[in-house]
Amino acid sequence: MIFTDRIHAGRELAAALADYSIREEVLNDRVVVLALPRGGVPVAAEIADKLALPLDLLLVRKLGVPGHEEYAMGAIASGGLTYLNQDVINTVRVSQAQIDSVIEREQTELARRDRVYRQGQPPLELEGRIVILVDDGLATGATMQVAVSALRSAGVARIAAAVPVGAPDSCEALRAQVDELVCLHEPEGFGGVGRWYRNFDQVTDAQVIDLLNQHRGGLHEQGTESYH
């Protein structure tokens, strides 16, 4: 165990990212914190609070192997982006029909979350901005990889991925895909994100909505445009 809970992890990450609060880009409203729901939201909210940055979501869903849903074979993001880990698919011999079924189910959940979480509010404009992309940990890295692809498609200027803890091999792979990776701990014998938290209770939809509402003023009063 390294972190008491996600709030503790967010405060530790905020300290490691402190230089972002004094960058010139902040003065021009070019830096934004994006959370991967649901577990990344409490972590990202602490970073946004400590660094006085706007907070928003990047909606991504893991594609779990049928019968072993905790094992990711890929991920999808808003906008129809899909990442598939062919090594995993080939190893566990998942059929195309099974893959299509999982994608359809997760797309339905992605649309539901977009409707429930945003409550009619548009997402932030991302083109040309610096994004701090946050999750509560990095296991396989599938979700982060499709998130990074989504951000590149949105035309962001720079991506800094930030996680409290991550599997060393996943961190190494992600480091090559982003402009900066801030991972506080890369323990050997990773064994799953929850292992490194004392309290790793599931984050609820209500908690996500509450945290977004707390930041809603700072998020949308600075600019009500949506990205395309």
List pLDDT tens digits, range 62-81.
899 999 887 889 888 877 77
**Looking at residue 66, what DSSP letter applies?**
T
Q: What's the pLDDT at 228?
A: 24
Q: What's the pLDDT at 55?
A: 94
Q: What's the pLDDT at 85?
A: 86
Nearest-CA neighbor of 196 among 167, 170, 176? 167
Nearest-CA neighbor of 36 among 66, 2, 72, 67? 72
Rounded Cα–Cα distance for residues 2 and 163 (Å): 13
Rounded Cα–Cα distance for residues 162 and 38 (Å): 15
Q: What's the pLDDT at 22?
A: 75
Q: What's the pLDDT at 72?
A: 84
Residue type, 138: L
DSSP 213-224: HHHHHHHHSS--
Rounded Cα–Cα distance for residues 18 and 46 (Å): 12
Tell me the CA distances in angstroms from 40 to 36, 96, 204, one per residue in order: 5, 30, 12
Q: What's the pLDDT at 223?
A: 35
Residues of the chain below pLDDT 70: 24-28, 217-228
Instruction: Go through the domains of the chain in sequence order and give each one's CATH number.
Output: 6-57+124-220 (3.40.50.2020)
Chain-centroid distance, C-alpha 75: 12
List pLDDT tens digits, range 80-94.
778 888 888 999 999
Q: What's the pLDDT at 25?
A: 60
Beta strands in the chain (DSSP E): 31-35, 55-57, 60-65, 68-77, 81-84, 130-134, 158-165, 180-185
Q: What's the pLDDT at 220?
A: 37
| pTM score | 0.83
Chain-centroid distance, C-alpha 196: 18
Tell me the CA distances in angstroms from 51 to 73, 133, 151, one per residue in order: 34, 14, 21
Nearest-CA neighbor of 203 among 189, 216, 193, 218? 193
Which two structure tokens, joined as six digits, stand for 106?
């997760």
Q: By the 8 A CB rule, do 90 and 74 touch?
A: no
Q: What's the pLDDT at 182?
A: 98
